[in-house]
Amino acid sequence: MTSDPNANSGENNPEREFDGEEPVVRDKRRINPETGELREPAAAGPEPAADAGLDVPDDISSLDDTPAPAEGTEIEDENAKLAADRLDDLQRLQAEFVNYKKRVDRDRPLAQEAGVTSVANVLMPVLDEVELARQHGDLTGPFEAHATKLYAALEKVGITQFGAKGEEFDPTVHEALMQHTDAEVETDTVDQVLQPGYKVGERVLRAARVSVAQPE
């Protein structure tokens, strides 16, 4: 009786495997029983995902939908924060400069007036001597010309002289050192200027010292 050479050969017989649910038959025979041709050996590798019981999506590209973290994001955030801080510093410095400029512009006239006032206080005794010489008729010739130039220079820097005979007496700009009655006047009137007054701008630096004639 002729025996089948493939009957007991584990290499050419299909093997039955049990995966826990249904038996799986794997044909490992080297010769195809239907065609008699030699089969190519199967490449070694992991079992197909279908046999391993895994679900494989049709579109594999969907597995890479999660975006990768952007490179340099942390550095860009730090640079943006640093730029914002520098902008805040620049705006604060600009605001401080604008306020400083406004303050300087506001205080400039006051500083100028204070300087002129200081000069007027220093020159006032000299001006009183010049005015006294004028009243006594001693200011003649070149001295009179120099005195005129002096008063003109004082007016250019804002120092002006006031007080004249015949003015109506004003207690805000006149200081009455002497008083007497006069039938020819209807109101209190300056009849003699003892020392002229001086102003710096509109501010009275010294009131005019006068003698006042009062109506009877």
pTM of the model: 0.53
The predicted-structure confidence for 191-210, as pLDDT tens digits, reads as follows 999 999 999 988 999 999 99
Higher pLDDT, 116 or 66: 116
- Share of residues in the chain with pLDDT > 90 (%): 42
Mean pLDDT to the nearest integer, 94-118: 90
**Fold (CATH) for 118-214:** Nucleotide Exchange Factor Grpe; Chain A, domain 2 (2.30.22)
Spans of all domains in the chain: 118-214
Q: What is the pLDDT of residue 6?
A: 46
The predicted-structure confidence for 151-184, as pLDDT tens digits, reads as follows 999 999 999 999 999 999 999 999 999 999 988 8
Q: What is the pLDDT of residue 40?
A: 67
Q: What is the DSSP string of 78-131?
A: HHHHHHHHHHHHHHHHHHHHHHHHHHHHHHHHHHHHHHHHHHHHHHHHHHHHHH
Q: What is the pLDDT of residue 9?
A: 46
Residue 8 has pLDDT above 50, yes or no: no
